[in-house]
Amino acid sequence: MNFFLDAIAWIFDPANYAEPGGIVSRLLEHLLFTFVTLVFASVIAIPLGYLIGHTGRGRGFAIAGAGGLRALPTLGLLTLVALWVGIGLEAPYVALTILAIPPILAGAYTGFEAIERGTIDAARAVGMSEGQIVAKVEVPLGLPLLIGGIRSATLQVVATATLAAYVADFGLGRYLFAGLKTRDYAEMLGGSILVILLALVLEGIFALVQRLVVPRGVIAGRPEDVRARPIRSRAATGTPVTEGRSS
């Protein structure tokens, strides 16, 4: 409990907001790193996922490849890339982009696969081209699941981006490594709490966005939760009559 109180005191200590290397600048660095990593991963995963979801080809390969990427130890991959390209942000970007690709890829192709086949057949029946079907039917209807994949990737990257400080003086992870080096456990726990709070805020934002991107036609087509009620009220039904009972 004392460690937790010390961590809270560390977070609210004005000295820790002094530049350079203050909490605000570290937080912005963490956000920027997360955003750029997600952009890199999305550029690779979304077109590939859309292609798999639309054509139905390569799904087994995508699942096996995504599973293999998920199984890679991030710290080991980060160390390996750092030995290859050197100390700096290049290694964390490569390692965490690989980490973010599987959930975005899964969200992209499962969003297309979740669409009713009758909807796609109806779009073809009215004369839509394959490009129009993708742009006007599959992408809007599959967007909630894609956002869900990006949401999952965001949380993973935010949590794992602390490892960027292992090879670069960057982000909120710097407080964890610096606190470990100096045995300043309040700083370590305070940095961890900041990462958790950032993840919770981003989770809430993506949850809201995921609800907002559901097409209105889909919302309007959902059945309402209407409970069956008796036509006549209980008072009008009377009392049951026992057969053979004498008055």
Give the pLDDT confidence of 188-212 residue by residue, as tens digits.
999 999 999 999 999 999 999 999 9
How is residue 100 written in tokens? 């973010």
Domain limits for position 73 = 17-224
**Residue 132: inside a domain, yes or no?**
yes
The pLDDT of residue 153 is 94
Q: Is residue 128 part of a domain?
A: yes
Does 230 fall in a domain? no
Q: What is the rounded distance in angstroms from the CA atom of residue 133 to the CA atom of residue 124?
A: 8
* Range of lowest pLDDT (40-44, 56-60, 125-129): 56-60
Residue type, 140: P
The tokens describing 70, both together, are 């998920």
Give me the CATH number covering residue 45. Answer: 1.10.3720.10
Residue 45 is predicted with a pLDDT of 93
User: Does position 38 have pLDDT exceeding 60, yes or no?
Assistant: yes
Quick check: is 1 in a domain? Answer: no
Residue 169 located in a structural domain = yes
Mean pLDDT of 7-36: 89
For the chain, give the mean pLDDT. 83
CA 244 to chain centre: 68
Report the percentage of the chain scoring pLDDT > 70: 87
Do 121 and 138 touch, CB atoms closer than 8 A?
no
Total domains in the fold of the chain = 1
Residue 231 lies in a domain: no
Residue 246 located in a structural domain: no
Residue 208 in any domain: the answer is yes
pLDDT band with cut points at 50, 70 and 90 for residue 46: very high
